[in-house]
Structure 1
Amino acid sequence: MRIVLYALALAGLLAMTLPELPKPRREFRPAAGNGRVAAFSPNGSLVAVGGAAPVAVFQTGTGLLLRTYPGHTQPVTDLAFAPHPDTLLSADAAGQVRLWNPETLATLAKWQAPGPLRAVAFAPGGGRAVLVGARGCWLWNLRGAAGPVLVKLTLPEKSSITAVAFAPDGQRVALGFDSGVALVYHLGTGAQVRKALATTPVRSLCLHADTLLAATGTPNLKSWPLQPGAAVAVLPLPHPLTALAIEPSGRTLALGFATGDAVLWNRANNRAEYECHGKGPTNRVQFQPGGDLLLAAYEADGPKTWLIQ
């Protein structure tokens, strides 16, 4: 009896001394699988979740499943909302690409890639999108009648594309490779620069203010200023970094780790200001547009939102 009382007293003491971990605001779990990719709509009111088909569309505030899109027959590898809230782009492991309306579920356009697609991204203006497979990058002018066009790139040998990001100006595209190389391509001039950032695959990229930020699955953040001769800066971190996002002002980063943790990182003083926890590697983090939520998607857990204000 004394042992039981002592154990209860110790548990109570720990509960008083340990800080309480934040709890997710909402969890968005589709009918099939965990939903390893997720994205906010431009106004932050919807969350689209992909992984096992079909794509599920949830209400952000309540977590209510609103509808599912049946346009994919294979697992969805990536998805992204256009800057206009009535358009969503999704791609799957069979190379099927669908542009569709998340309110009506109407398919607006579709395309078949020659192989599996790994990532998609919209230009900031929404008129163009990039689609990437292991050894190809296609540019899709969504305001024209033609389909996606293969971008003529000089790719690193024996490397596969693993990540993509648009610059805020919409003129440059960054690609990451499984060899640890990053490449930045100017869509207008065709100029391209590349840099070896690591010997591990690039997992996530952000282009901001002429600097490329990269997560390479190592316990550090790589920062590459896009000026001739500039060296790559390395910021040590406590865990392997697998996902990142930057808020519009550039002052705060969202960092996702292989441990399932995600933190808000203040760039001015290089320290974490908020921490939340999921299960398995963090695949994606995103700030809610105009809101106070952080969205995180995981390899072994349902996507979650966290209140960060």
Structure 2
Amino acid sequence: MSLLAELRGHTGAVASVAVSGDGRTLASAGADRVVRLWDIGHPQNPRALAELPQPAEVTSLAFTPDGDSLAVGGVGHLSVWDVTAAGQPRRRAQLTAPATVRKLLVSPDGRWLAVASTSDGGSLTEIYGLDSPRGLHRLTAIASRPGQAGSIALSADGRVLAVSTPAGQVTLWDMRSPSRPVQRATLPVGTAPTATVFGPLGHEGVLAVVAGDAVRLWQLDLLAAEDEICARAEGRINREQWRTYLGHRHYDPPCD
């Protein structure tokens, strides 16, 4: 193993880096309130491409899968930049709020963005649509409990979002309709999770949760199990049955 290069230019601690899907562009940002874009197509000879000034410290970065857009989150701000021409980035949208973005995740199809943030009111996970010409369109929010934010993780196929809470739980959300996420399960992990990640195994993969001095692994196949049940079902749930047993919820039969 050998060091290929060092990317220098930041005047403060770097808090986040992200690499485009084709592996040719790297974004870095942190305390100096500047996002820097780098051409790493030849990693032994990286080249600075552009600087994107930000209103405050940057804490998280995420490219869309096609590499055409970069989501930037930090203290009190969230923005999306068009980096199709990485040397001449253009800001598509910016939002400000009294919250600090802790983590950004872009769906595999590039249509939506999950934003985990904290404020004086507690922690929150918001879902934003990215397919609007305006760049950001808030679809919904998943509230957590007051306290420090946990972490979020997304399965490789984008169908399951894991959201940890300070209460020592991880909730699993069905994201097939990102504007109406459905909570599928809650995993007790014993203490406030500090990191969550999906690994590539099985349909949705293995969920690894760091809690205290232990790493817990969970095999998840929630939606695959639902698919199997629906394949064996003789009929769909009609509206009358839905109103009888689940009248308080929007009609959304799982086997459609």
Q: Same fold (TM over 0.5)?
A: yes
- What is the CA distance between 1:201 and its match in structure 2? 3.0
Mapped contact 1:162–1:201 kept (Cα < 8 A):
no
Shift of 1:267: 1.9
Q: 1:126 to 1:257 in 2, by over 3 A?
A: farther
SS in 2 for 1:68: coil
Equivalent residues of 1:216, 1:242 under 8 A apart: no
**Partner residue of 1:262?**
215
Q: 1:233 Cα shift?
A: 3.3
Match runs of 1:1-309 below 5 Å? 62=1, 64-100=2-38, 101=40, 102-144=43-85, 145-152=88-95, 158-178=98-118, 179-189=122-132, 190-208=137-155, 209-226=158-175, 228=180, 230-231=182-183, 233-248=185-200, 249-259=203-213, 261-268=214-221
1:262 partner amino acid:
V
Q: Percent identity?
A: 24
8 Å CA contact 2:152–2:163 kept in 1: the answer is: yes
Per-residue displacement from partner, 1:264-283 (whole Å, max 9, x unpaired)?
Answer: 432259xxxxxxxxxxxxxx
Paired AA for residue 93 in structure 1: A
Please give the secondary structure, in 1, of the residue aligned with 2:17: strand
> Which whole-Å deviations, capped at 9, do the CAs of 1:245-287 have from their partners, x for residues lacking one?
223542212323343x434432259xxxxxxxxxxxxxxxxxx
Structure 2 counterpart SS, 1:221:
strand
Deviation at 1:118, TM superposition (A): 0.8
| DSSP-derived class of the 1:67 partner | coil
- The answer to whether the 8 Å contact 2:190/2:211 transfers is no
Shift in alpha-carbon separation, 1:262–1:125, aligned structure 2, 3 A: farther
Closer/same/farther in 2, CA of residues 65 and 103 from structure 1, 3 Å limit:
closer
8 Å Cα contact 1:138-1:150 kept in structure 2 = yes
After superposition, the Cα gap between the structure-2 partners of 1:168 and 1:71, relative to the gap in structure 1 and judged at 3 Å, is same
- Give the TM-score normalised by the residue count of structure 2: 0.69
Quote the Cα distance in structure 2 between the aligned partners of 1:215 and 1:110: 33
Which structure has more relative contact order (CA 8 Å, sep 6+)? It is: 1
Matches of 1:216 and 1:117 in 2, distance apart? 23
Q: Which amino acid aligns with 1:215?
A: S
| Runs of at least 5 residues in structure 1 that lack an aligned partner in the other structure | 1-61, 270-309
Q: Which amino acid aligns with 2:44?
A: E
| Length, aligned pairs only | 203
DSSP 3-state at the match of 2:60: strand
The Cα of 1:217 is off from its aligned counterpart by 4.2
Normalised TM-score (structure 1): 0.58
Distance 1:229 1:172 in 2: 12
How many Å separate the matches in 2 of 1:245 and 1:138? 24
Offset at residue 193 of structure 1 (A):
0.2
For the 8 Å contact 1:171–1:188, the answer to whether it is kept is yes
Aligned AA (1:66): L
CA distance in 1, matches of 2:5, 2:145: 41
Contact 2:15 2:30 in 1 (8 A): yes
The amino acid of 1:265's aligned partner reads W
After superposition, the C-alpha distances for 1:173-214 in whole angstroms (9 at most, x for unaligned) are 011121221110111242410121222333322234443211
Question: Offset at 1:126?
Answer: 1.7
CA drift of 1:141 comes to 1.3
Are the structure 2 counterparts of residues 229 and 141 from structure 1 closer, same or farther at C-alpha, using a change threshold of 3 Å? closer
Report the CA distance shift for 1:229/1:220 in structure 2 as closer, same or farther (over 3 A).
closer
Tell whether the 8 Å contact from 2:101 to 2:117 is kept in structure 1 after alignment. yes
SS at match of 2:182: coil
